[in-house]
Amino acid sequence: MLLLAHRGASADAPENTLDAFTEAVKQGADGVELDAMVCGSGEVVVCHDERLDRLAGLPWEVRTTPYWKLQRADVGTPLGFAPARIPLLEEVVDALPAHFLINIELKCDRFNDGGLADKVARFVTQEGLAERVVVSSFNPWCLFRLAAAEPSLRRGFLIDPDKPWSPQAYLLNPLVSSHSVHPFHEACTPERVAEWNAAGLRVAVWTVDDPGRARALEEMGISYLITNRPRVVREGLKRVA
């Protein structure tokens, strides 16, 4: 089971920033999970929220704000850390070791993703990252577009715990996932994990910070565990073992 740092090591550094991804490396993660969206000037930026109220105390909408302006937003101090900025996807990749797995989540709740899937597919392909990238999304249309742009890229559907289970798990997931399925950890049972594995899908669960729960999920056959605290979970797993 590989440990992926959720938005970087986000318990110890501001989420989705270079500081968080650097901290994930220091904490011994196997990879990172990050959120990608298109900003107002067309670049792919790494940010979770559509608006910056929570992250920066600003009413800016990322998809309509140009990158030069987003650079002025401090997304560290409001979260209790040192000042930090929103990075570009390419900056994050450049900051990570060559062996790191990267789970890129496409963040878009709309039918029209503003070119997000195409831009990510082009970037991953041109940079030769296909063997270390998994692209996930709650939005099946994003994954359809990704498959159309580059069918060989590894795709995984995120199952929303606030929506009905069956249509997501048994209809959408088989249609859009080529590599993995990404359920909330509480939705995992040994039977479900066994079914997914039998179908050739790896299971990536989120978000687990308790080593005991991590061990139970590993025993079910989970492939990727997404955590805010990679060091704590890694050390806890060693103690349990």
Q: Which residue in 155, 28, 154, 20 sits closest to 91, CA to CA? A: 20
Give per-residue pLDDT as tens, 179-216.
999 999 999 999 999 999 999 999 999 999 999 999 99
Supply the pLDDT for residue 240: 61
pLDDT of residue 239: 80
Token pair belonging to 160: 């929303």
Cβ(101)–Cβ(124) under 8 Å?
Answer: no
Question: Looking at residue 88, which CATH number applies to its domain?
Answer: 3.20.20.190
Other residues' Cβ atoms within 10 Å of the Cβ of residue 150: 17
Residue by residue, pLDDT tens for the chain (241 residues) are 999 999 999 999 999 999 999 999 999 999 999 999 999 999 999 999 999 999 999 999 999 999 999 999 999 999 999 999 999 999 999 999 999 999 999 999 999 999 999 999 999 999 999 999 999 999 999 999 999 999 999 999 999 999 999 999 999 999 999 999 999 999 999 999 999 999 999 999 999 999 999 999 999 999 999 999 999 999 999 886 5
Cis-peptide into 207, omega within 30 deg: yes
Burial environment of residue 133 by CB neighbours within 10 A (0 to 12, 13 to 18, 19 or more)? buried
Counting the structural domains of the chain, the total is 1
- Note the helical H segments in the chain: 18-26, 53-56, 67-70, 89-95, 116-126, 140-149, 165-166, 173-176, 190-198, 211-220, 230-240
Query: Which domain, by its residues, includes 13?
Result: 2-240
